Amino acid sequence: MTEPQTNIENEDAPEGAPISETESTQGPSGSDAGQSEAARLKDQLLRALAETENSRRRAQKELDDTRKYAVSNFAKEMLGVADNFRRALESVPKDVKGNEALKNLVTGIEATERQLLSALERFGIKKIEPLGQPFDPNFHRVMMEMQDTDRPPGTVVQVLQPGYVIHDRLLREALVAVSKGGTPGSQKVDTSA
């Protein structure tokens, strides 16, 4: 099929010569310029859409992080309370059979401690259990080294203060003692100075 001809006259054409619509709306190189302009505008549009989507994702991630970690400061304060409950329980003599009042007090403190730890766990706060694990500087802080021939060097042999994480982030590092390894007396001091 051929394109319909219009009777619009072109100034350059001989008088009365018909020209097509495409010739009348675009110059000889107008088609190429129009296509490149359309491609440029399409590219700009796609980039703007991608940037908008990236901004939306960043905002959603920030909102999610804010929701997950908003209780961090409050949780740090509550960890001190949990530590004090544990200290109170550890200070009670092991044999409380004869003293019914002391036995009831211990039972109450244990129940309160369990309830506090359960509440913390509901908000994604979990206790780190490093005893017997290799030392990890991301979660532990070494307070001292201890002689222990049964465990390899760098193994946590005592937890001085428990650590906690909130979801996947460290809330408070555990204070630990690690094994030096070797046998007692195997560490020799060089006195030939």
- The answer to whether residue 162 is domain-embedded is yes
Query: How many structural domains are present in the chain?
Result: 1
Task: Tell me how long the chain is.
Answer: 193
Sequence-ordered list of residues with C-beta below 8 angstroms from that of 176, at least 6 positions apart, any chain: 130, 135, 140, 141, 142, 143, 156, 158, 159, 160
Concatenating the DSSP letter of every residue in 47-83 gives: HHHHHHHHHHHHHHHHHHHHHHHTTHHHHHHHHHHHH
Sequence-separated (6 or more) residues with CB below 8 Å from residue 129: 162
How would you write the pLDDT of the chain (193 residues) with one tens digit per residue?
455 554 444 455 555 555 544 444 444 466 888 899 999 999 999 999 999 999 999 999 999 888 888 888 899 999 999 999 999 988 888 777 678 888 888 899 999 999 999 999 999 999 999 999 999 999 999 999 998 888 889 899 999 999 999 988 999 999 999 998 755 544 443 445 4
Match 């509550």 to its residue by tokens.
78
- State how far the Cα of 75 lies from the Cα of 164, in Å rounded to an integer: 10
Q: Check residue 56 and give its pLDDT.
A: 95
- Do the domain assignments include residue 15? no
Residue 21: per-residue pLDDT: 47
Per the domain annotation, does 155 fall within a domain?
yes
pLDDT of residue 137: 92
Residue 174 belongs to a domain: yes
CATH number for 156: 2.30.22.10
**22 part of a folded domain:** no
State the pTM of this model.
0.62
* Joined tokens for residue 116: 């506090």
How many angstroms separate the Cα of 90 from the Cα of each of 83, 109, 110, 130?
11, 11, 11, 19
Q: Which domain holds residue 175?
A: 125-184
Whether 134 is covered by a domain: the verdict is yes
In a domain, 140, yes or no: yes
Position 34 in a domain: no
